[in-house]
């Protein structure tokens, strides 16, 4: 089974989860046959400010406006994957703009695929963002979804369990 994890991360929480999910999926390898996991990090050509007040003002405004910033070249062959996991930080209650670009650029190819979404946020409204992403994707049902609170900065047993459950449901 081929699985891809596509994510954007500014301060590494979403990246941390991508790596954890990959580790967990590969650890389950024996019971599920051959699993290949590709981790694809997307990045905008023009980076968002990542320090000070600018970080929240620019990123937040861009997310609210539904911007789709140009991405650095990435390789993503949709037809290769049985499962596609999309990860994003929550910005202003929704996905970070680079993820919006990715979905837009691959929307047709993503339709009919088994998709899982995870979001990282500072507060507890992450599942609301998941719902918005599902609508933008135009899928009726996600294979699985999870929302985690700053999982790299604040590791908890509950987060670890959530990641475990997410991986079990993805395969
Ligand atoms: C521009 C910006 C907007 C944000 N908006 C929200 C928000 O609306 N709700 C929330 O809970 N967290 C918000 N956050 C916090 C991040 O979602 C959270 O810290 C996340 O874990 C960061 O993921 P990352 O380390 O992968 O970038 C925001 C962060 C930034 C930079």
Task: Name the nearest CA neighbour of 102 among 8, 18, 1, 22.
Answer: 8
Task: Give the pLDDT of residue 28.
Answer: 79
Residue 144: domain span: 2-170
Cβ(99) – ligand 1 distance below 6 Å: no
**Rounded Cα gap, residues 149 and 67, in angstroms:** 24
Task: Give the pLDDT of residue 112.
Answer: 86
Q: Ligand 1, residues 42, 90, 93: which to mutate, most atoms within 8 A of Cβ? A: 90
- The answer to whether 44 and 97 have CB atoms below 8 angstroms apart is yes
- Number of structural domains found in the chain: 1
Q: How high is the mean pLDDT in each 10-residue block of the chain (171 residues)?
A: 97 98 86 85 98 95 98 95 97 98 95 94 96 95 95 94 92 85
Residue nearest to atom 4 of ligand 1 (CA): 91
Task: Give the pLDDT of residue 34.
Answer: 87
Q: pTM for this structure?
A: 0.97
Any idea what the CATH number is for the domain that residue 34 is in? 3.40.50.360
Residue nearest to atom 22 of ligand 1 (CA): 89
């Amino acid at each position: 089974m081929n699985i891809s994890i596509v994510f954007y991360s500014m301060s590494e929480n979403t990246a941390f989860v991508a790596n954890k999910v990959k580790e967990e999926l590969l650890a389950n390898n024996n019971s599920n046959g051959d699993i290949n996991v590709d981790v694809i990090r997307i990045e905008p050509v023009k980076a968002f400010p990542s320090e000070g007040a600018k970080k929240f003002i620019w990123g937040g405004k861009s997310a609210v406006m539904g911007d789709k910033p140009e991405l650095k070249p990435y390789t993503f062959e949709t037809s290769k994957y049985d499962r596609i996991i999309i990860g994003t930080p929550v910005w202003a209650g929704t996905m970070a703009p680079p993820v919006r670009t990715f979905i837009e650029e691959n929307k047709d190819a993503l339709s009919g695929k088994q998709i899982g979404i995870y979001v990282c946020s500072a507060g507890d409204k992450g599942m609301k963002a998941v719902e918005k992403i599902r609508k933008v994707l135009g899928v009726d049902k996600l294979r699985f979804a999870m929302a985690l609170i700053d999982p790299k900065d604040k590791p908890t047993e509950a987060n670890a369990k959530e990641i475990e459950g997410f991986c079990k449901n993805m395969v």
